[in-house]
Amino acid sequence: MRDPDLSVKIGKIKLKNPVIVASGTFGFGEEFKDFFDLHQLGALITKGISLEPMIGNLPPRIFETEGGLLNSIGLQNPGFECFVNEKLPYLRKIGTHAIVNFFGNTPTEYTELARRLSEVRGISGLEMNISCPNVKQGGILFGCDPGMTYQVVRSVRRSTQLTLIVKLSPNVTDIARMAKSAEEGGADAVSLINTFRAMAINIHSRKPELGNFIGGLSGPAIKPIALRMVWEVSRVVHIPVIGIGGITKAEDAIEFILAGATAVQVGTANLVNPNTAVEVIAGIKKYLLQTKACRVRKLIGLFKV
């Protein structure tokens, strides 16, 4: 039997396979170059970038929970100029798509940054973070209100020709409504989910485990909720949905695809096993061969109800 076709399309981007590494869990790529050839990835999404550098939140910023990880990094990043001068040259050589995750404090900052990112060479697409739970900035304000989501997405849409993915927050009552607003604003795709607002307390010191008190929960603990949200969203939008949340193995990724995701992102699992993404790609291929499916695209939304 011929090798199955793993390719999928997100906006204008043709991915060789549906596996992407998630923002904030894969640095700017170079950090992972000794583990595997990055060209194997469907795409790589960078740490979130802002116009100016940010130092992030007070430590401790990471705390492991049962089945999950709490983080309150606070969108620490080197800022646009440094990203373009010091990080992008490496990303241009990786042989797969580099998608830049970005955010701003105001709609004007989002628009300005999207415009500037569109003027530099080597970026295949933008992932707009309107969902970071760890900072007042980072767009959570926009991401929790359908009207504001629509407005900010629409103004960014007008400032870039690049494929625009809008990353949604799970910290809302009706995520499908937010997805619809992003679609109406002109998003080419939605990605979900970002982390859940959460916390942990040290019973001996009686202090919070995170310097910022509240952080975002990720990892296997959130997978079933993420899957439910992806399913709900994929039923109401006509643009591709990218599934994120607790993926550690091919079976998880396949579940998301059956629920309606066109592609998936591997996040926290990269920090446990840096080879997770390539193992997920190999596992999807094996599943397609075993089930005699010739293309992964045929599996999207095949979930039977």
| Residues taking part in catalysis | 132
CB nearer to ligand FMN: give 4 or 164.
Answer: 164
CB nearer to ligand FMN: give 4 or 117.
Answer: 117
Smallest distance from ligand FMN to CB 304, Å: 26
Return phi, psi of residue 273, to 5°.
-135, 105
CB nearer to ligand FMN: give 4 or 254.
Answer: 254
CB nearer to ligand FMN: give 4 or 50.
Answer: 50
CB nearer to ligand FMN: give 4 or 132.
Answer: 132
Binding site for ligand FMN (CB under 6 A): 22-25, 47-48, 69, 71, 73, 75, 101, 129, 132, 167, 194-195, 218-219, 222, 244-247, 266-269
Smallest distance from ligand FMN to CB 224, Å: 12
Smallest distance from ligand FMN to CB 289, Å: 25
C-alpha–C-alpha distance, residues 295 and 285, integer Å: 9
Smallest distance from ligand FMN to CB 261, Å: 13
Smallest distance from ligand FMN to CB 269, Å: 6
CB nearer to ligand FMN: give 48 or 185.
Answer: 48
Q: Contact, 14 vs 269, CB < 8 A?
A: no
Q: Which residues contact 301 (CB under 8 A, 6 or more apart)?
A: 234, 258, 259, 260
Task: Kindly list the distances between the CA atom of residue 269 and the CA atoms of 42, 46, 216, in Å, as whole numbers in the listed order.
Answer: 16, 16, 15
Residue, CB closest to ligand FMN: 24
C-alpha–C-alpha distance, residues 24 and 219, integer Å: 13
Dihedral angle, C-alpha 103, 107, 108, 111, nearest 10 °: 60
Smallest distance from ligand FMN to CB 191, Å: 8
Q: Is 280 exposed, middle or buried (0-12, 13-18, 19+ CB in 10 A)?
A: buried
Q: Which residues contact 225 (CB under 8 A, 6 or more apart)?
A: 170, 193, 196, 245
